[in-house]
Amino acid sequence: MSPALNSPKEIHRWCRNFPGTRAQISEARQFVTSYLGDHLETDTAQLIVSELATNAIRHTRSGLPGGRFGVTLHAGSTLLILAVHDEGGSSTPHLCRAEDEDQSGRGLCLVETLSARWGVHGDNAGRTVWALISLTPADQAA
């Protein structure tokens, strides 16, 4: 775990922008890992950032030539808010219906399952999709 996350009172914020290409999804995962380290929830955070970054590239202008997306982590000792910022588009993030036969439309359902809460800010000019996950405190992780 990052030593910074051991402090019970501090909230830390880390941000990074990425070119909007599929190759950058693994970079975004690595960015998350670099701050959470071997925390119990690191795998969950990696999955969430993968889904949100993939959506930014697939569904927004972030995935067009020259497009970019951003990742922000707000982390304390017991919570993490993971936010992905995109360059907007005509669609709106939404949960797809479970009865749909289509194999796509699962990413945000996964985010909903893995997070305590998730939500969206912004409009067609640019959106932030965020997810909140609880972190196991360092003294309970053993």
Ligand X SMILES: Nc1ncnc2c1ncn2[C@@H]1O[C@H](COP(=O)(O)OP(=O)(O)OP(=O)(O)O)[C@@H](O)[C@H]1O
Assess 93 for contact with ligand X (CB under 6 A): yes
Residue 56 gets which letter from DSSP?
Answer: H
Non-local CB neighbours of 93 within 8 Å, separated by 6+ positions: 55, 59, 108, 120, 127, 129
Q: Is 105 left (phi over 0), alpha (psi -120 to 50) or beta?
A: left
Assess 24 for contact with ligand X (CB under 6 A): no
Assess 105 for contact with ligand X (CB under 6 A): yes
Assess 49 for contact with ligand X (CB under 6 A): no
**In the stretch 76-115, what mask flags binding to Mg ion with x, by CB under 5 A?**
-------------------------------x--------
Calculate the CA 76 to chain-centre distance: 16
Contact region for ligand X (CB under 6 A) — 10-18, 23-31, 103-111, 130-138? 103-111
Token couple for 87: 């360059």
- Judged by the rule CB under 6 A, the positions of this chain that interact with ligand X are 51, 55-56, 58-60, 86, 89, 91-94, 96, 104-109, 127, 129
